Amino acid sequence: MKRGELAPEELDKVIKLKKIGTSWLRIEHETGISRRTAKRAYEKWEHSQSPEVLREARKDVAAKAFLDHLKSLTTLAVSLVTSLSVPPSIADMEKNAEQFFSELWEQDLLQRGPLSSLDIGTGEVYTRLPRPLVDQRFSILENELLFKCLQDHTRGEGVRWEVLEEWKKARDNCAKIVPKLRKGTSMKETSVVVDNFLNQEREANFLQRVKEESVESGNAVEQMAKAVLSAIWQGIREDTPAENLVRMVSPRGGGQGIVKVKDETFLIFNDTGLAEKVVHTCKLAANNLCKGEMVQQLHSEVRKMEKATEELRQMLNPVRLTPMILRTRCDLCPA
């Protein structure tokens, strides 16, 4: 037998693997046949087939490509809606809609990166590793093209894409408010409010005690202001009074008072009584600031973002989205 020719059973195996979209490198690993030899033999066989046989073979390839297209669109839809959720950190809200989407298209929205497991206690946490080296511009373009396909498939199917523009507008408004709330005048205002409530405490030198007796290094009053802002933001996200989220925790055995907003620690004192007074002061300051126009407006914009996200979540759920894609076409549909 001449070098480069395959036995009938070898050729048959190569043909079957290639018909299901197997790469030449994978075929080489599975058959032990050089990928160059396998490719030459397959192309020779392909050229020898009748047009009818080729058409049937291409139908199989197109069907698989369409399934891949369907999976990509449903995966992208889930990743998109998940990303639209209001972030847990107020710092992430400083990006406007344009900046948000610019960074979003850089992400592995199709979830192709390999998973790595990390044991934590008795369970496992899975994280997605970076994808193999690829020009990021290809990934960005792929995400953008598939997003357009998603819109094309669903625009006439009851998905109101105007809601995404509503989300963007609300996000832009938040991006204008949050920096003012976190820094500059509003941060000073927050500190002033905290100072005012500290000075209202009847205990002499209370403010000085807070500054001196904090276990952690740094400006204790500034940490209190950050705790107040965190409580305000978490309160907005959860639609609950901010003052209810500030608490004092004492470890088993006592001895310390830890000032927390939900699970995040801001200050630690060796005197639990002092920690309780600091918590009380933060609650008063948070309640006072929540009555202001800026926090009220931020609360309103976040509700708009959540409403828009929920509408898209309902309409782009894979259970609803799959039949929409099956009965429509886009410019990049393989079949």
pLDDT given at position 197: 58
pLDDT given at position 325: 94
pLDDT given at position 122: 45
Average pLDDT, the chain: 84
Q: How confident is the model at residue 184 (pLDDT cuts 50, 70, 90)?
A: very low
Q: Is 298 helix (H, G, I), strand (E, B) or coil?
A: helix
Q: Are 2 and 38 in contact (CB under 8 A)?
A: no
Per-residue tokens: 81: 């809606």
Sheet of 246-249, strands arranged across: 246-249, 257-261, 264-269
H or E element that contains 117: strand 115-120
pLDDT higher than 50, residue 273? yes
pLDDT tens digits along 190-243: 555 555 655 555 555 777 888 888 887 568 888 888 899 999 999 999 999 999
Q: Are 190 and 225 in contact (CB under 8 A)?
A: yes
Highest mean pLDDT among 35-44, 146-155, 179-188, 288-297: 146-155
| Count of CA atoms in the C-beta half-sphere (13 A) of 163 | 21
pLDDT given at position 314: 95
pLDDT higher than 80, residue 115? no
Which amino acid belongs to residue 328?
A: T
Q: DSSP secondary structure string, 69-82? A: HHHHHHHHHHHHHH
| Chain centre distance of CA 118 | 20
C-alpha radius of gyration, the chain, whole number: 29
d(CA 194, CA 201): 11
pLDDT given at position 53: 65
pLDDT higher than 80, residue 24? yes
Give the β-pairing of 123-128 and 115-120.
antiparallel
CB atoms under 10 Å from CB of 243, counted, come to 20
- Give the residue-averaged pLDDT of 175-199: 65
d(CA 304, CA 50): 59
